[in-house]
Amino acid sequence: MSAPKKLHIKTYGCQMNVYDSERMAEAMGPEGYEVTDRPEEADLILLNTCHIREKAAEKVYSDLGRLRPLREANPNLKIGVAGCVAQAEGAEIMARQPLVDLIVGPQTYHRLPAMMRKVDAGEKALDTEMPEEDKFDLLPKLRSAARPTAFLTVQEGCDKFCAFCVVPYTRGAEVSRPVERLLGEARDLVARGVREITLLGQNVNGYHGAGPDGRTWSLADLIWALDGIEGLARIRFTTSHPNDMSDDLIAAHGRCAKLMPYLHLPVQSGSDRILKAMNRKHTAAEYLAILERLRAVRPDLAMSGDFIVGFPGETEADFEATMDLVRQVHYAAAYSFRYSARPGTPAAEKEDVPQDIAVERLHRLQTLITQQQHETQNAMVGRETEVLFEKAGRNPGQLIGKSEYLQAVHADAPDTLLGQVARVRIVEAKTNSLAGVLI
């Protein structure tokens, strides 16, 4: 046996890329690769990239430039680009950046081992197909689990074609994985110590997978089946679209004890005019009505969302409608972005809002969201919550975990509580964490 080779993966973008990075590492394990978090000792570096905004995509080129000294120090170092930038601009990257040996899209990374053999033979390899075969079928079955929480991709791709978004082009059409496979993967994770599973999909609540009974299962059906897995303590899912928030899923939020009371439901804008231009196919009132139904069954539900500011044609009144919606919802957390025109999307043809105006609006929105986040954190003080402890804290004797509402909580606790859910009383709130004591 030769010494193991080292693989370093840098992950950009969404949780789906985090999941894919883990699966790529698992695919390369049998090829003799061990994961390292130090790029300077790697034999293979993969950048798993994101194309969602211009800044994210541009970063790949600057990061590639930064790898040049590593290649000079180690001429055998191989460099690959994976993910959504690879899918969208793979051939161009290959042409522009001689450092790159390999380009692999999000739907073909099960072919990485074969591609690497080509690279090791001195060739370049590029594969950005959207093949018929299911990559998950061809990836190693056994998942590695080093933490008590894990991601599980249940659905990929998107058919919604929001006017600003590249995902339908980089990830392809919506595909749901069959129920049996997902339950198998989930049981395997739980057997390896995982206590919390977050179901992933670009439109996760649009899940419609082939069930073992021949029926098409909804996300709620899948959640109820996962609920029956002994040892699994918590279920989460992300990211959802308002139009797929079905009755059975809303009901599950009220009845399924393992389903955590936190929902990421992006709305993007509070203006109906802008929502229409974005091709979101729902109004602000419809979004708020869904929330009302959710809070009727689960009053403590913590909400998070995504917002785009400065979409082409956004007026001050449109923006104020967004601010109003945020005030009505009161978010526990929310992500807001300045609109970024993406090549090939319909909105890219339209005229941008002047940059200084968009920057100023983004600032106002983020100030409001931060204030709501502080209020949510402060409201936890004195309350009891359940915490799943995930890892050691900064101070000796301390563990860190997550509350039901996805807040980071640290508390003095014995190591035996790692991977366990324990009741904690919150005694102090900071912006990004809570301090608690075990009850």
Residue list for the binding site: 14, 50, 84, 158, 162, 165
Binding residue (CB under 6 A) for ligand F3S from 6, 7, 13, 372:
13
Q: Could you say which of ligand SAH, ligand F3S, ligand SF4, none residue 168 binds, taking C-beta under 5 to 8 angstroms by partner kind? A: ligand SF4
Please give the backbone phi and psi of residue 421, each rounded to the nearest 5 degrees, phi first. -95, 130
**CA–CA distance, 66 with 254 (Å, rounded to integer):** 49
CB atoms within 10 A of CB 141: 11
Part in contact with ligand F3S (CB under 6 A); list of ranges 21-29, 144-152, 164-172, 209-217:
164-172
**CA–CA distance, 382 with 436 (Å, rounded to integer):** 9
Q: Which residue number, 80 or 266, has a Cβ lying nearer to ligand SAH?
A: 266
Q: Smallest distance, Å, CB 174 to ligand SF4?
A: 9
Part in contact with ligand SAH (CB under 6 A); list of ranges 136-144, 336-344, 407-415, 417-425:
336-344
**CA–CA distance, 114 with 377 (Å, rounded to integer):** 49
- Residues between 71 and 90 that touch ligand F3S (CB under 6 A): 83-84
The site map against ligand SAH for 164-193 (x = CB under 6 A) is xx-x--------------------------
Q: Smallest distance, Å, CB 65 to ligand SF4?
A: 29
- E strand segments, 239-292: 262-264
Query: Within 13 A of 15's CA, how many CA atoms are on the CB side?
Result: 20
Determine how β-strand 44-49 pairs with β-strand 78-82.
parallel
Nearest alpha-carbon partner for 402 in 385, 425, 382: 385
Q: Could you say which of ligand SAH, ligand F3S, ligand SF4, none residue 308 binds, taking C-beta under 5 to 8 angstroms by partner kind? A: ligand SAH
User: Binding of ligand F3S at residue 170 (CB under 6 A)?
Assistant: yes
The site map against ligand SF4 for 158-177 (x = CB under 6 A) is x-xxx--x-xx---------
Token pair, residue 272, equals 């109906």
Q: Could you say which of ligand SF4, ligand F3S, ligand SAH, none residue 311 binds, taking C-beta under 5 to 8 angstroms by partner kind? A: none
User: Binding of ligand SAH at residue 337 (CB under 6 A)?
Assistant: yes
- Residues in binding contact with ligand SAH, number by CB under 6 A: 17
Binding residues for [4Fe-4S] cluster: 14, 50, 84, 158, 162, 165
Token pair, residue 117, equals 């053999």
Burial class (CB in 10 A: 0-12, 13-18, 19+), 399: buried
Q: Could you say which of ligand F3S, ligand SF4, ligand SAH, none residue 264 binds, taking C-beta under 5 to 8 angstroms by partner kind? A: none
Determine how β-strand 408-412 pairs with β-strand 333-338.
unpaired
Q: Smallest distance, Å, CB 279 to ligand SF4?
A: 8
* Long-range contacts, stretch 352-357, CB < 8 angstroms, 24+ apart: 352/310, 352/312, 353/310, 353/311, 353/312, 353/313, 353/314, 357/310
- What is the rounded radius of gyration, in angstroms, for the C-alpha atoms of the chain? 22
Please say whether the beta carbons of 230 and 258 come within 8 A: no
**CA–CA distance, 390 with 422 (Å, rounded to integer):** 11
Part in contact with ligand SAH (CB under 6 A); list of ranges 111-119, 177-185, 332-340, 388-396:
332-340
Determine how β-strand 149-153 pairs with β-strand 78-82.
unpaired
CB atoms within 10 A of CB 276: 14
Q: Could you say which of ligand SAH, ligand SF4, ligand F3S, none residue 13 binds, taking C-beta under 5 to 8 angstroms by partner kind? A: ligand F3S
Q: Could you say which of ligand SF4, ligand F3S, ligand SAH, none residue 161 binds, taking C-beta under 5 to 8 angstroms by partner kind? A: ligand SF4
Determine how β-strand 102-104 pairs with β-strand 125-127.
parallel
User: Binding of ligand SAH at residue 239 (CB under 6 A)?
Assistant: yes
**CA–CA distance, 198 with 202 (Å, rounded to integer):** 13
User: Binding of ligand F3S at residue 424 (CB under 6 A)?
Assistant: no
User: Binding of ligand F3S at residue 402 (CB under 6 A)?
Assistant: no
Q: Smallest distance, Å, CB 249 to ligand SAH?
A: 16
Interface residues toward ligand SF4, by CB under 6 A? 158, 160-162, 165, 167-168, 202-203, 241
